[in-house]
């Protein structure tokens, strides 16, 4: 179905609005790097938290969810649902610590917590690694997803779609810096939420309502299109022996690894780069905590079910993806539903919701990546005497370079969900170090270096094995599209974690005790600055600041009950399980009551 005039009017109006915001904030954003990257540390919780939500919802998100649901089933979302457990660490512990640290980027902390050449080298390496390698992959899959949507809905060549998306995002990002990002994030969040809910309602009604949708999915099981685990929230426990290969190839084993290893072992356990950037932009500790808690509620409970509903509807309407879109894979199911059922006006609104989500995430990664390269490499090691205007100019030049490189990565990327898995594997062994560096004095720079390098090296080696096996099989290679096979076992993401995490832990523990601790001056200065609590012995200095560890465990349990309870209350209500939904909603309400009375009300402004 071709776009009508009203669709183009809606799309054009949104682009003009975004550019207007960019122009409005361009002068303020260009006054200093703190304004350009942190909005002057003046933002209230509702702006910060909503910006966190908006930036983690890109065009790739509903498409990746569609890949999960059409592939393994709803339970596969535990690949990211498990991260709530570390997300609550970010809210309850680290949001306040990062605000106390008063750093421009999280890498800046490395030369506060550690000292000497190892700290400087680690800061430069992490800045380059996350700003370039990590950022290219993330922006690549986001551009890839938006290009897939544009190719289906606008019926244009995918290359053309890529460069159109790049041009729109780049112009806006150059102008306004972080100010424009967070302000437009508010609008983008509501547009994206309204759009996804509307599409879910339309898609489910088009196939006869939820009861009919579930019945049709049941009928498709016999054809093998729908798996037994498609509608399950948690995969069944296999009958195979725990130590057998068949057990560790089962969906339940993947779920088990997600819930016991993945959530605490990845590179974002203390917040994650662009989330930390937003924590640091809040006006004080209480606003940083409230913002991060709101983000976790919206991210893990409120957003996902409309996407799941559309993914399930796509399995009924398009049990097999049409040949003309076969190169896009199963993720094409989502835009195909949009194309099939949306009329004039609504199609324009849904395209704008994707465009809004795309721009929010891309602009965040450009701004965040530029902050690393400018603050942690250029300003720290190359030119430390430049003016604020000079550094903002360099930031804008770097933004252009990042955008163009990411576009070329996008063109060579096939599967979004596989790229997600690769990213998590690369940082899988460093999570424990990122937690302990705040609470245990013995962690040093070499600890963090060894943990990160172990994860990166093993992950790249496994991808090179997959590349070699793909070439030898005379199959065209695409980034992250094929799992390596070792000893007859196809290594899925949870198998990789079971290799990477223990290896990294063994390496960093050995390196920690084979190298000297940080100096007494460094440790005392760090503790005095952030007052984290934990195991600091004689380096701990008494202060009026409340240790963030006080009452942590019960608050963490309550937060888990609040958000998982709300998430699965919505899911059970959607599938007509009213009794379960009410019970889970009650659990969620109890969790909220506890958090409100025992955490939020006790923190001073």
DSSP secondary structure string, 259-274?
Answer: IIIIHHHSTTTT--HH
Mean pLDDT value across residues 165-194: 79
Which of 111-115, 174-178, 329-333, 472-476 tops mean pLDDT? Answer: 111-115
Q: Is the pLDDT of residue 541 over 90?
A: no
More confident residue, 78 or 139: 78
Closest CA to 141 of 374, 328, 314, 310: 328
Q: Is the pLDDT of residue 440 over 80?
A: yes
Mean pLDDT value across residues 184-190: 84
DSSP percent split of the chain into helix, strand, coil, nearest 5: 75, 0, 20
Phi, psi of 164 (to 5 degrees): -65, -45
Same domain (yes/no): 452, 579: no
Confidence of residue 246 (pLDDT cuts 50, 70, 90): confident
Mean pLDDT value across residues 501-511: 97
Q: Rounded to a whole number, what is the largest CA-CA distance in the chain?
A: 70
pLDDT of residue 1: 52
The alpha helices in 479-577, defined as continuous H runs, are: 493-514, 520-530, 552-574
- Domains identified in the chain, total number: 2
Same domain (yes/no): 300, 427: yes
How many Cβ atoms are within 10 Å of 467's Cβ, its own excluded?
A: 16
> Crossing angle of helices 431-439/493-514, nearest 10°?
40
More confident residue, 373 or 351: 373
pLDDT of residue 307: 95
Same domain (yes/no): 265, 171: yes
pLDDT of residue 331: 82
Domain end (from 493, 518, 543): 518
Same domain (yes/no): 596, 448: no
Confidence of residue 260 (pLDDT cuts 50, 70, 90): very high
Contact between 289 and 271 (Cβ < 8 Å): no
Instruction: State the Cα–Cα distance between residues 93 and 11, nearest whole angstrom.
Output: 41
For residue 184, count CB atoms less than 10 angstroms from its CB and return exposed for 0-12, middle for 13-18, buried for 19 or more: buried
Task: List CB contacts of 361: < 8 A, sequence separation 6 or more.
Answer: 54, 55, 56, 57, 58, 59, 60, 142
Same domain (yes/no): 597, 497: no
Same domain (yes/no): 507, 571: no
Assigned domain for 545 exists: no
Question: CB-hemisphere CA count at 13 Å for 575?
Answer: 18
pLDDT of residue 38: 82
Same domain (yes/no): 345, 429: yes
Residue with tokens 């779609």: 161
Confidence of residue 297 (pLDDT cuts 50, 70, 90): very high
Same domain (yes/no): 588, 481: no
Q: Is the pLDDT of residue 150 over 60?
A: yes
Q: Tokens representing 580? A: 């379960």
Q: Is the pLDDT of residue 291 over 90?
A: yes
Confidence of residue 252 (pLDDT cuts 50, 70, 90): very high
Closest CA to 436 of 370, 517, 331: 517
Assigned domain for 602 exists: yes
Instruction: State the Cα–Cα distance between residues 466 and 460, nearest whole angstrom.
Output: 10
Q: What is the number of residues in the chain?
A: 605
pLDDT of residue 359: 79
Q: Is the pLDDT of residue 605 over 70?
A: no
Domain end (from 518, 537, 570): 518
SS3 of residue 518 by DSSP: coil
> Which pLDDT tens digit goes with each residue over 102-121?
998 999 999 999 999 999 99
> Which pLDDT tens digit goes with each residue over 385-428?
988 889 988 988 998 898 888 877 777 766 556 676 777 788 88
pLDDT of residue 416: 59
pLDDT of residue 55: 83
Average pLDDT over all residues of the chain:
87
Which of 356-365, 374-383, 384-393, 529-538 tops mean pLDDT? Answer: 374-383
User: Any idea which of 331-340, 356-365, 514-523, 576-585 has the lowest mean pLDDT?
Assistant: 356-365
Cα of 365 vs its chain's centroid, Å: 11
- DSSP letter at 532 equals -
- DSSP letter at 224 equals T
Contact between 344 and 9 (Cβ < 8 Å): no
Contact between 188 and 356 (Cβ < 8 Å): yes
SS3 of residue 478 by DSSP: coil
Assigned domain for 463 exists: yes
Strand partners, 485: 490
Contact between 297 and 562 (Cβ < 8 Å): yes
C-alpha distance from residue 576 to each of 211, 214, 278, 570, 581 (Å): 8, 10, 38, 10, 9
Confidence of residue 257 (pLDDT cuts 50, 70, 90): very high
Contact between 371 and 29 (Cβ < 8 Å): no
Assigned domain for 41 exists: no
Task: List CB contacts of 382: < 8 A, sequence separation 6 or more.
Answer: none
Angle in degrees, CA 380, 385, 388, rounded to 5? 90
Domain that holds residue 188: 5-30+47-518
Confidence of residue 30 (pLDDT cuts 50, 70, 90): low
Same domain (yes/no): 569, 473: no
pLDDT of residue 2: 65
More confident residue, 12 or 518: 518
Assigned domain for 150 exists: yes
User: Any idea which of 130-134, 352-356, 469-473, 512-516 has the lowest mean pLDDT?
Assistant: 352-356
Mean pLDDT value across residues 530-546: 84
Residue with tokens 């913002």: 291
Same domain (yes/no): 239, 373: yes
Domain end (from 471, 492, 518): 518
Assigned domain for 603 exists: yes
Closest CA to 524 of 509, 540, 537, 504: 540
Assigned domain for 548 exists: no
Mean pLDDT value across residues 276-290: 92
pLDDT of residue 145: 76
> Which pLDDT tens digit goes with each residue over 312-327?
999 999 988 888 777 6
pLDDT of residue 408: 79
Mean pLDDT value across residues 469-483: 81
Same domain (yes/no): 160, 210: yes
pLDDT of residue 162: 67
SS3 of residue 303 by DSSP: coil
Same domain (yes/no): 102, 21: yes
Instruction: State the Cα–Cα distance between residues 299 and 338, nearest whole angstrom.
Output: 23
- What's the CATH code of the domain at 446? 1.20.1730.10
Assigned domain for 36 exists: no
């Amino acid at each position: 179905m071709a776009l009508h005039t009203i669709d183009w009017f809606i799309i054009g109006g949104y682009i003009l609005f975004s550019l207007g915001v960019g122009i409005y904030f361009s002068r303020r954003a260009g006054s200093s790097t703190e304004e350009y990257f942190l909005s002057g540390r003046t933002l209230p919780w509702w702006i910060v938290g909503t910006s966190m939500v908006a930036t983690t919802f890109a065009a790739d998100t509903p498409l990746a969810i569609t890949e999960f649901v059409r592939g393994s089933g709803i339970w596969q979302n535990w690949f990211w649902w498990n991260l709530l457990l570390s997300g609550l660490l970010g809210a309850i512990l680290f949001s306040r610590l990062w605000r106390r640290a008063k750093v421009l980027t999280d890498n800046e902390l490395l030369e506060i917590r550690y000292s000497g050449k190892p700290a400087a080298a680690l800061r430069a390496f992490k800045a380059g690694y996350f700003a370039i390698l990590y950022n290219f992959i993330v922006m690549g899959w986001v551009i890839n997803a938006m290009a897939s949507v544009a190719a289906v809905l606008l019926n244009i060549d995918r290359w053309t779609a890529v460069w159109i998306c790049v041009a729109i995002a780049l112009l806006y990002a150059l102008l306004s810096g972080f100010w424009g990002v967070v302000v437009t994030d508010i609008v983008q969040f509501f547009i994206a939420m309204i759009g996804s809910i509307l599409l879910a309602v339309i898609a489910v009604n088009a196939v006869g309502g939820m009861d009919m949708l579930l019945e049709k999915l049941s009928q498709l099981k016999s054809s093998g299109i729908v798996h037994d685990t498609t509608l399950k929230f948690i995969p069944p426990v296999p009958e195979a022996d725990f130590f057998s290969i068949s057990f560790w190839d089962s969906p339940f084993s993947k779920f088990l690894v997600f819930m016991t290893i993945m959530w605490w072992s990845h590179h974002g356990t203390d917040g994650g780069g662009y989330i930390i950037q937003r924590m640091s932009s809040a006006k004080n500790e209480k606003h940083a905590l409230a913002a991060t808690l709101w983000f976790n509620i919206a991210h893990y409970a409120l957003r996902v079910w409309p996407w799941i509903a559309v993914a399930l509807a796509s399995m009924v309407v398009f049990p097999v993806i049409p040949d003309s879109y076969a190169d896009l894979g199963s993720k094409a199911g989502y835009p195909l539903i949009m194309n099939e059922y949306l009329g004039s006006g609504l199609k324009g609104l849904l395209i704008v919701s994707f465009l809004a989500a795309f721009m929010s995430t891309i602009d965040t990664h450009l701004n965040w990546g530029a902050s690393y390269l400018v603050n942690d490499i250029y300003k720290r090691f190359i030119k430390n005497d430049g003016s604020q205007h000079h550094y903002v100019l360099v930031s804008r030049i770097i933004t252009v370079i990042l955008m163009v490189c990411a576009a070329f990565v996008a063109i060579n990327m096939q599967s979004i969900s596989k790229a997600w898995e690769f990213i998590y594997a690369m940082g899988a062994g460093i999570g424990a170090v990122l937690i302990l560096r705040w609470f245990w004095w013995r962690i040093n720079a070499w600890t963090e270096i060894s943990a990160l390098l172990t994860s990166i090296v093993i992950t790249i080696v496994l991808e090179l094995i997959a590349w070699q096996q793909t070439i030898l099989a005379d199959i065209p290679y695409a980034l992250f599209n094929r799992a390596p096979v070792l000893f007859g076992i196809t290594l899925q993401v949870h198998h990789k974690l079971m290799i990477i995490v223990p290896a990294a832990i063994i390496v960093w523990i050995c390196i920690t005790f084979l190298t000297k601790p940080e100096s007494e001056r460094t440790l005392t200065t760090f503790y005095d600055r952030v007052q984290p609590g934990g195991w600091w012995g004689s380096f701990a200095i008494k202060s009026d600041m409340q240790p963030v560890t006080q009452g942590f465990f019960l608050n963490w349990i309550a937060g888990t009950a609040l958000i998982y309870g709300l998430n699965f209350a919505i899911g059970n209500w959607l599938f007509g399980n009213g009794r379960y939904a009410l019970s889970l909603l009650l659990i969620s309400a109890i969790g909220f009551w506890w958090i409100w009375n025992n955490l939020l009300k006790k923190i001073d402004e």
